[in-house]
Structure 1
Amino acid sequence: MRRKIPSTTALISFEAAARHESFTKAAQELSLTQGAICRQIASLESFIGVELFRRSKRGVKLTEAGLSYSRRVATQLDAVERDTLSVMGQQGANTIELALVPTFGTQWLLPRLKDFQ
């Protein structure tokens, strides 16, 4: 069964736009165009069936639903980032990398490597 989850690009775009309350500033932060942010937000609003921003000539403002959703999305994106960094940190936890002269490695280090723990 397919999950009802919006694209991560749309969620990241929404989180940045909500934090800045500006599609332009979100676009600058994410190195996208303002139009791309606008399309991502429109796609997200269509997906969930809820208006997240009120648009006016002065810019955008979060709706109540948008504010509530932005808090939850930010929390979940923070958790994903934290978990990702944790896994990345574990990747080399039991690894040591050495740069040494080949003769030293073969003549001195390799014979002693079995004692290394």
Structure 2
Amino acid sequence: MEWVELAMIRTNTTVLNEVDVETAAHIRVSLRKKLKAQPMQHTYTAVVKRVADAWIGWIEEVPGVNCQETSREELLESLRITLVEAIEFNRAEAIGAAGHGFEELPIAV
């Protein structure tokens, strides 16, 4: 099986998770659709801070989603993109781990 590295875009960090080529392609297509579609239905909390000449930020509810940019606006956009990527990657990873014959069910909290 051929493997690729999938990196979080527009961040100063790279996530080194290996996924097969088919899964990576599915993630990219899904991300493009989500980013072009209407805003996501869920609301997350961005924690942002100015440090020297940079803005840094995290998404409270999702570990590992953090970014650094030169402006607040760029930071918020990077956080949004990175959050969508993380959710889609986690979804693809869960589906891959489940194999065949699984169900996807919504869970409200």
TM-score by length of 2: 0.32
TM-score by length of 1: 0.30
- Higher RCO, Cα 8 Å, sep 6+: 2
- Compare the two structures and name the one with the higher helix fraction: 1
